[in-house]
Amino acid sequence: MCHNRTCKKQGAAKVLAALTNLPVPDVTVTASSCLGQCGNGPMVLVLPDMVWYSGVQPHEIPLLVEQHLRCGERVKQMLYYRFHPQG
């Protein structure tokens, strides 16, 4: 997930903490540099799926972890509209 300046201002540290609190086997959580989508953060990019989540809030992390990282299903209501316009 992005941990650069703009996303940090938007609360990336708490989102990263929430993610690292819910570890998933075979999934690595990394604080990245800017993902080029400043202003829409905190931004989370799931690889290799290439699924983007924008404006991610700490309270949404349990759902993201359970539904996407554990079950492989996108969380439609959290998707980044610019790259996933159809949801």
Q: Choose which of 13, 34, 46, 79 interacts with ligand FES (CB under 6 A).
A: 34
**What track of x and - describes contact with ligand FES for positions 48 through 87 (by CB under 6 A)?**
----------------------------------------
Pairing type for strands 51-53 and 44-46 reads: antiparallel
Q: Which is nearer to ligand FES, 39 or 70 (CB)?
A: 39
> What is the H or E stretch that residue 12 is in?
helix 12-21
Give the integer Cα–Cα distance in Å for 65 and 25.
11
Q: Report which DSSP code applies to 11.
A: T
Binding of ligand FES by 7 (CB under 6 A): yes
* Angle at 55 (CA atoms; ends 50, 60), nearest 5 degrees: 85
Binding of ligand FES by 14 (CB under 6 A): no
Q: Choose which of 13, 31, 38, 79 interacts with ligand FES (CB under 6 A).
A: 38
- Specify the stretch interacting with ligand FES by CB under 6 A; choose among 4-12, 13-21, 55-63, 73-81: 4-12
> What is the H or E stretch that residue 14 is in?
helix 12-21
